[in-house]
Structure 1
């Protein structure tokens, strides 16, 4: 790989890492490993709908958090 391609790949990875950090920040109540698993699975399989899967995680943890708060 030449220097130009290496720089392009490095730039792309920085963008991906930044987006992952943003998603993790938005999903503070969801374990980071679940988000990473979702992203990796969706990246490997173009058929998966990342947005739909992420919304399902939000819903799952919203219920869990609301249940914990009601139990206090």
Structure 2
């Protein structure tokens, strides 16, 4: 778990690709598939588990509602 910054959001084939990076190392890219976009440039929290990624705000509210979230 850690704080990440949203670097890029793209859309293709009905899925948003959201690229986030840890604020401590922006050379690391984590790509998440989602059904809705996030605003680029914002800092948020990320929790990664096998086959599941959660991006959430300070209150613990999930910011993406994807059924299939993929980390690459």
TM > 0.5 between the two? no
Whichever structure has more helix as a proportion of its residues is 1
Pair member with larger Rg: 1
Report TM bin, short chain.
under 0.3
Structure with more contact order per residue of length (Cα contacts < 8 Å, sep ≥ 6): 2
Whichever structure has more strand as a proportion of its residues is 2
Q: TM (normalized to structure 1)?
A: 0.26
Q: TM (normalized to structure 2)?
A: 0.26
